[in-house]
Amino acid sequence: MSSTHTTSCIAKSTRGSVQRWSQTLIPTVRQAPSDAEMPSHVFMIRAGFIRQVGAGVYNYLPLAWRSLRKVSEIIREEMDAAGASELLMPAFQPMELYAGTKRDIDYGDLLFTLEDRHGRKLALGPTHEEVITDLMCGALTSYKQFPLNLYQIQTKFRDEFRPRAGLLRGREFIMKDAYSFHLDLDGDAGLNATYDKMHRAYTNIFTRCGLDFSAVEAEAGPIGGSASHEFMVNCEAGEDTILVCQESGYAANVEKAEIGERAWSFEVAADSELVKHHTPNMPGIHSVAEHLSTTPSGMLKSIVLRTTEESPRWVIAVVRGDHEVNESKVRDAIGCSVELADEGEAKAAGFVIGYVSPRVCSSIDLLLVVDPDALAGASWATGADEPDHHVTGFNWSRDMGDAIRGGKIQVADIRNAQGGDPSPRVAGSVLQERKGIEVGHIFKLGTKYSEAIGLDVLNKDQKKQSVIMGCYGIGVSRTLAACVEMSHDDNGIIWPAAIAPFHVHLVVIKPNEPEVQEAVSAMSDELAGHGIDVFIDDRAERPGPKFKDADLIGLPIRLTISPKTIEQGEVEFKLRSDDARGVGHPREAIVQMCLDALAP
RNA sequence: CAGGGUGUAGCUCAGCUUGGUAGAGCGUCUGGUUUGGGACCAGAAGGUCGCAGGUUCAAAUCCUGUCUCCCUGACCA
């Protein structure tokens, strides 16, 4: 058994590690538990990487832990190279820390809370903005200390409404979170410079991990702040939708994606009568459209929203029936954040929920915001503002003339973009829709947390100034799952070399034969000497199960040694990504072949 | 949280309707034959049927409660 002894305490060993199946725990199974559905979940269980403990809580078995450590190491190298330094904060967080930011309210039930024996309330950290900002209050004392970027790799806790798909969404998961501190937005020490550095570091990290990913513009969400980018692993099974303009390189999450100019006019002449129809018991826009002999794209959808101000106002957002209202865009259009109206309150105010039309603005005081696509037609089907009725033949110019002349209608991009929409950057180009799994997210926080918690320092001009912050997250355990989701076939996982638990899977046929054992030791020793991590399947199994398990585990290179190959002076070599069976090669050529195959 | 489903051997599942000795396949263990893509023969171990209560002479099965886990939705690394 080779080891990684070094005589020096400063020289890092470049020797690869060698591990034998018989000495570790890799419980592969032919049949995954029936509750596993996503490929990453199924294969990580079948290949013996993880085992479930509870909903969204998993054991990371030796293979998974090796991969996680490799991902973490890549993250550390790139973060350190970008000028960040690692620290470790506790998972326990006193509830008082949330008093300033009120994020306990924003997070709500997502926050795991507990009480100690003295009745003090604690949270299990979902992220660490509060803790680190509080830490900095006592540690950042001079403008000369800026900029500063600190990170940690640590287990996070979120009581997800619905954990699922193995490591893709756990309640306990491993995350890298980084926080940067500045006094300026611009300049070498400013937030923008560090944000750009992090953007590059993330690009390096995910590239080195061997992932096919896209960096896209994103909504900041409850973390708060201004600019934000997400790093998405490109994968059809992803939960997130992103839109891409090939010509300009523009890419954004559907929550954020802008849509290019669309032609519209209030002055489209009516071409049919306004007719009322009885439409009882028709859930959903599709059944109504069918009953009215039209399609959702021939209908108007009027969503009742409420502003979140002290004295809330009603807002009606009108989009075409086949489009989705985007609340963030409505917020940007009217300059105030909104939320879906409570159904009871809306009914009490006179809205006939399910049958609302733009015409309701004549009877109720409200803000009317309309998407351009909802104006590009002469005749629409929409609600009749009375129970169980819709109208056809609605025409903006004829039926909303007063509101239009009164300037009561605001026209703005307020819907989610979708494939085929015009690009916001290049006229004539269209957006393409893709799916992705979010593995990283970077934010410009600004002063949200420093103001709430009171993190300020004296600047050069001896003026008190709130510290400007950025924060940068990577879902480490999710990255692993996303990688499997992105890279697998019917037989199992296909790991990129950089984050595979080992580089070489050495299948041993007849492991009890002395000459085989000798050949295996020599081979693995030589490979390890070149920095290659070798995994030896030394089990007393027949060849069939061994090959099946090798495919399942998915290490990049498979070598096979048997009495036959020894007799021929060969070792069989096969790449996991190749479908063909392995081919024998001269024993002396093998190490170089492995090195070539693993070269970046 | 709302809606739907589920819980019987390590895994996949049958048995439940109509109450009457706990079942199969895979896996595991033993012995033998095998040995390059999930072998064969013979044998063995392994379950208080999620938990609690109730009905009954008798409950995996019927009733009540409760918990678990999964799926669909809003949220997020």
> What are A447-482's pLDDT values in tens digits?
888 888 889 888 888 888 999 999 999 999 999 999
A125 domain-assigned: yes
A240 located within any domain: no
For residue A321, the model assigns a pLDDT of 82
Residue-level pLDDT at A535:
97
Count, residues in chain A = 600
C-alpha dihedral sign at A479, A484, A486, A487: positive
pLDDT cut 90: percent of chain A above it: 42
The domain that contains A58 carries what CATH number?
A: 3.30.930.10
Domain shared by A306 and A199, yes or no: no
Do A171 and A48 belong together in one domain?
A: yes
Q: Is residue A206 part of a domain?
A: yes
Mean pLDDT is lowest, of A149-163, A208-222, A352-366, for A352-366
Q: Give the model confidence (pLDDT) of A11-56 as tens digits.
A: 666 899 999 999 999 999 988 877 788 889 999 999 999 998 888 9
Token duo for residue A466:
């709130």
Return the pLDDT at A519: 94
Q: What is the pLDDT of residues A408-448, one digit of tens each?
A: 778 888 888 888 888 888 888 888 888 899 999 999 888 88
Residue A124 scores a pLDDT above 80: yes
Q: Which nucleotide is nearest to A56 (CA to C1')?
A: B69
How many Å does it take to go from CA A46 to C1' B31? 30
Q: How confident is the model at residue A576 (pLDDT cuts 50, 70, 90)?
A: very high
Which residue's alpha carbon is at the shortest distance from the C1' of B74? A161
B61 C1' – A31 CA distance, angstroms?
28
| pLDDT tens profile A245-289 | 888 888 888 888 888 888 777 777 778 887 888 877 766 777 777
Whose CA is closest to A47, among A501, A478, A575? A501
pLDDT exceeds 50 at position A82: yes
- Is residue A511, in this structure, part of any structural domain at all? yes
CATH of the domain at A509: 3.40.50.800
> Residue A231: inside a domain, yes or no?
no
> pLDDT higher for A367 or A577?
A577
Report whether pLDDT(A69) > 50.
yes
Structure tokens at A348: 């009490």
Of residues A310 and A532, more confidence is placed in A532
A224 pLDDT more than 60: no
Q: Is the pLDDT of residue A524 over 80?
A: yes
β pairing state of A228-234 and A213-217? antiparallel
User: What confidence score (pLDDT) does residue A474 get?
Assistant: 95
CA of A415 to C1' of B51 (A): 49
B2: residue with closest CA to C1':
A161
- CB distance A329 to A415 below 8 Å: yes
Residue A22 lies in a domain: no
Can you give the pLDDT at residue A355?
A: 81
Q: Give the tokens for residue A65.
A: 């832990």
Number of independent structural domains in chain A:
3
| pLDDT on residue A498 | 95
Name which of A437, A9, A499 is nearest A210 in CA terms: A499
Higher pLDDT, A445 or A108: A445
Find out whether A414 and A333 touch, Cβ atoms under 8 Å: yes
- Sorted by sequence, the CB contacts under 8 Å of residue A159 that are 6+ apart come out as A109, A110, A111, A112, A171
| Closest nucleotide C1' to the C-alpha of A45 | B11
Tell me which of A411, A429, A458 is where a domain ends: A411
CA A42 → C1' B21, Å? Answer: 38
Provide the CA A490 to C1' B33 distance, Å, integer: 33
Mean pLDDT for chain A overall: 86
CA distance A41 to A61: 14
- Nucleotide nearest residue A177, measured CA to C1': B77
Query: Final residue of a domain: which of A357, A388, A411?
Result: A411
Nucleotide nearest to A162 (CA to C1'): B75
Residue A201 near residue A442, CB atoms below 8 Å: no
Same domain, A205 and A349: no
A70, A137: one domain: yes
Question: Of A364, A257, A255, which Cα lies nearest the Cα of A304?
Answer: A364
Q: Which residue has the higher pLDDT, A267 or A561?
A: A561
Task: Give the end of a domain, one of A388, A411, A434.
Answer: A411
Nucleotide nearest to A478 (CA to C1'): B77
Tens of pLDDT, residue by residue over A440-450, are 999 988 888 88
Q: How far apart are CA A473 and CA A442, in angstroms?
A: 6
Q: CA-to-C1' distance for A53 and B47, Å?
A: 21
A524 and A464 within one domain = no
Q: Which of A41-45, A136-140, A165-169, A334-338 has the lowest mean pLDDT?
A: A334-338
DSSP A357-384: -GGGGGTS--EEEE-GGGTS-S-EEEE-
Q: How many CA atoms lie within 13 A of A124 on its CB side?
A: 15
Predicted local confidence at residue A1, as pLDDT: 45
Segment A546-553 shows an average pLDDT of 94
Whether residue A60 sits in one domain with residue A174 = yes
A309 and A176 inside one domain: no
Q: Which nucleotides of B are covered by protein (CB under 7 A)?
A: 1-2, 11-13, 25-27, 34-39, 68-77
- Residue A490 tokens read as 């019917």
Q: How far is the CA of A253 from the C1' of B38 (A)?
A: 43
**Are residue A551 and residue A479 in the same domain, yes or no?**
no
Give residue A7's pLDDT: 59
Measuring from the CA of residue A160 to each C1' atom, give the nucleotide at the shortest distance. Answer: B75
Closest nt by CA–C1' to A172: B77
Distance A169 CA to B1 C1' (A): 18
Strands A367-370 and A409-411 turn out to be parallel
* A280 and A364 together in one domain: yes
Q: Which nucleotide is nearest to A570 (CA to C1')?
A: B36
**In chain A, what percentage of residues exceed pLDDT 70?**
96
- Between CA A504 and C1' B41 the distance (Å) reads 37
Q: Quick one: average pLDDT of A344-355? A: 75
pLDDT, tens digit, 9 for 90 and up, residues A300-327:
888 888 777 777 788 888 888 888 888 7
State yes or no: pLDDT of A10 exceeds 70.
no
A541 CA: nearest nucleotide by C1': B35
Phi/psi at A496 (nearest 5 deg)? -65, 145
A513 plus A480 within the same structural domain: no
- Cα–Cα distances (Å) from A222 to A129, A216, A219, A228, A451, in that order, read 12, 18, 9, 12, 16
Best-predicted range by mean pLDDT (A108-122, A180-194, A272-286, A325-339): A180-194
| pLDDT (average), residues A175-198 | 93
Q: Is residue A429 part of a domain?
A: no
- Does the pLDDT value for residue A4 go beyond 60? no
Residue with CA nearest to B39's C1' atom: A542
Higher pLDDT pick, A590 / A321:
A590
- Distance of C1' in B39 from CA in A284, Å: 57
Same domain, A57 and A198: yes
Residues A190 and A302 in one domain: no
Residue A3 has pLDDT above 60, yes or no: no
**Assigned domain for A12 exists:** no
Amino acid A253: pLDDT: 86
* Chain centroid offset of residue A470 CA: 18
Distance A551 CA to B36 C1' (A): 15
- Cα distance between residue A184 and residue A191, in whole Å: 6
Residue A2 has pLDDT above 60, yes or no: no
State mean pLDDT over A80-93: 94
Domain range for A515 is 502-598
